[in-house]
A and B are shown apart, each in its own frame.
Chain A
């Protein structure tokens, strides 16, 4: 194996931070390697950086009878982390340098992204100030702390989809994996409950605006909605489909936002018109790794397999 340090500049540009071609042109910066180098150095600094600092503890402070929150957490302070000058009313500079605050960083303005994990950390002290129902205030729909501005610089705790312009922003938020955030508090039927009430035709997803049932069979033939499922195979032997907009759109949408499909079609029966192995077009909907996971599904959830397969 070639020793990396024996490779001259130009022999393997991708390996070196600074490189030149074989004609001794001025050396140029290899951005790819520079990025890797910075990432490696950062990782080493982060992982290897030893810290023997003591960890701040509310419990210790309480033991020393610092029980009043306001002694450190001053009213109208910008951050929940007290300023160092407040700590130094009791501590020395050395005490402060050797102490890390850890989870208090969950109270920075970016706390929304961080507090979930931090609350599970072993020395999580969330409960020093918060009750369980504090979580439910945001995560279960309670409105215990109404405010004028539901969102400003993302410092408020209410999801942005719950602002006054919910109707504008939620179609975008509900597209893609972010819809998982919705379903962490709402049942899947939550969407259809509303969409079934208000102008449902305008609220259809893209592929549904021009459903396959409205596509003519062949050239100027009858609409697909006039056929029964048992007739699919007459024109689409083996599930073969001609390529058209709806076929492409609905597959793409389903793979990206399958939870949205479930919202209106909770049992998925409509999918089985084409994707069941018993009837219809019999187009397989399974993922690429199906061969590796099907045994587990057969064993653990045979009823699901039986929905589409007679023998499995």
Chain B
């Protein structure tokens, strides 16, 4: 792929854009030792032409060096997220993508070393993909393969139906086999209803079910009702794939109220329950005010149920003190009871700044002080990042 990119004619790489971000982190461990890391993120995109076809090349990745006093010898993985080449016709009705790419079919997203193809005819789009599951862990590659085919169909304006069938294989064995369908309908700007199902054909269980509706009463008031059911899905070569599993169900309601351009309130309530009766609930109340070039926000979240209980309050404020310089301050405090532990109260407080050096470059700094149940003493952490757009 790299060789192909290098040997291309100039017209194929006509328009190159991108972004590079340098991030330096440092953080203390509970015994007082310090760690630091430096990372370089990059994101490149080229758009050009190859004969009658449009050619896009996209690449993104990260390289990290880590100095770890606490665990000498640890090495953070360097990772290439994607490097893919796409050939499309001028109308973008046909598109072939080769290389490492993220595909997002209904049956679940994959990072794939392979090929994907889209063909659009009127309201109908066919998509298919084949390749090896990308290995970004640095371990010996498994050479697991994936294949999938699906379609999207616009039944009428605002109403869509999608289906997808996907399989993954490993050395002759079928690892997963999924069939998914999705339907959604947006009725003008007033409401949207949606239904998604993802069925595991290996274990014949409902892997995912999502049913919901959103009502947009006006630009100022939005509500959402949603029900979901989820059952874990394992590759068939795992012993866990033959174990009994309880599905978990969640019903939620949320309401977003925007009384003015600079004020926003959110309320969300969710109930989670398992088939054997255990469950939990969670509610969140939040507000955000953005007067002028400043911003204030506050949240209250409570979780209670299977696995623990937690009440958390977080507050934050930021303001623009110069046209190119923002300052921020914030923090949170949380009280946790988890699995029979005693009450634990933890906090985090931070200071930050964001300096726009030029229209294409930006420098941010964050200094944080935190204390929680896993640490014997409060610790410091900091992050500095510099981003540059090409």
Name the distance in Å between B344's Cβ and chain A's nearest Cβ: 8
Closest to A79 in B: B219
Name the distance in Å between B1's Cβ and chain A's nearest Cβ: 14
Check A301 against B174 for contact (C-beta < 8 Å).
yes
Which of the 9-residue segments A29-37, A146-154, A211-219 touches chain B? A146-154
Residue A3 interfacial (CB < 8 Å)? no
Check B245 against A258 for contact (C-beta < 8 Å).
yes
Closest to B97 in A: A132
Given contacts A172-B338, A209-B340, contact A152 B383 (CB under 8 A): no
Which single member of B84, B245, B366 contacts A146 (CB below 8 Å)? Answer: B366
Q: How far is the CA of A212 from the CA of B204 in the complex (A)?
A: 33
Closest to A208 in B: B339
Residue A292 interfacial (CB < 8 Å)? yes
Q: How far is the CA of A272 from the CA of B240 in the complex (A)?
A: 11
Which residues of chain A are within 8 angstroms of B297 by Cβ–Cβ distance?
149, 152-153
Check B352 against A258 for contact (C-beta < 8 Å).
no
Chain B 168-207 near chain A by CB (<8 Å), digits 1 or 0: 0000011100000010111111011110100000111100
Which residues of chain A are within 8 angstroms of B157 by Cβ–Cβ distance?
51-55, 100
Closest to A195 in B: B374
Given contacts A206-B339, A255-B244, contact A122 B346 (CB under 8 A): no
Q: How far is the CA of A93 from the CA of B52 in the complex (A)?
A: 39
Which single member of A105, A177, A197 contacts B248 (CB below 8 Å)? Answer: A177
Check B366 against A256 for contact (C-beta < 8 Å).
no
Residue B128 interfacial (CB < 8 Å)? no
Check B187 against A49 for contact (C-beta < 8 Å).
yes
Which residues of chain B are within 8 angstroms of A15 by Cβ–Cβ distance?
none
Chain B 37-50 near chain A by CB (<8 Å), digits 1 or 0: 00101010100000
Which single member of B102, B203, B310 contacts A168 (CB below 8 Å)? Answer: B310
Residue B149 interfacial (CB < 8 Å)? no
Which single member of A121, A167, A258 contacts B160 (CB below 8 Å)? Answer: A121
Residue B355 interfacial (CB < 8 Å)? no
Q: Number of residues in B with C-beta < 8 Å to the partner?
A: 139
* Interface of chain B, main secondary structure: strand
Which of the 9-residue segments A64-72, A230-238, A303-311 touches chain B? A303-311
Q: How far is the CA of A122 from the CA of B184 in the complex (A)?
A: 12
Check B196 against A271 for contact (C-beta < 8 Å).
no
Check A46 against B104 for contact (C-beta < 8 Å).
no
Name the distance in Å between A211's Cβ and chain B's nearest Cβ: 14
Chain A 147-177 near chain B by CB (<8 Å), digits 1 or 0: 1110111110000000111011101100111
Closest to A254 in B: B243
Q: How far is the CA of A140 from the CA of B192 in the complex (A)?
A: 29
Which single member of B60, B106, B238, B326 contacts A136 (CB below 8 Å)? Answer: B60
State the 7 A-B residue pairs at the shortest beta-carbon distance, nearest first.
Answer: A175-B307, A148-B328, A133-B60, A152-B297, A268-B239, A122-B152, A301-B236
The contact sample of 29 A-B pairs, CB cut-off 8 A, is A46-B191, A47-B193, A51-B158, A55-B158, A113-B226, A132-B82, A132-B102, A143-B41, A146-B23, A146-B366, A148-B318, A148-B350, A152-B288, A153-B264, A153-B297, A164-B332, A165-B346, A171-B308, A176-B306, A177-B230, A199-B374, A255-B246, A271-B239, A285-B243, A286-B242, A301-B237, A304-B238, A305-B242, A307-B239
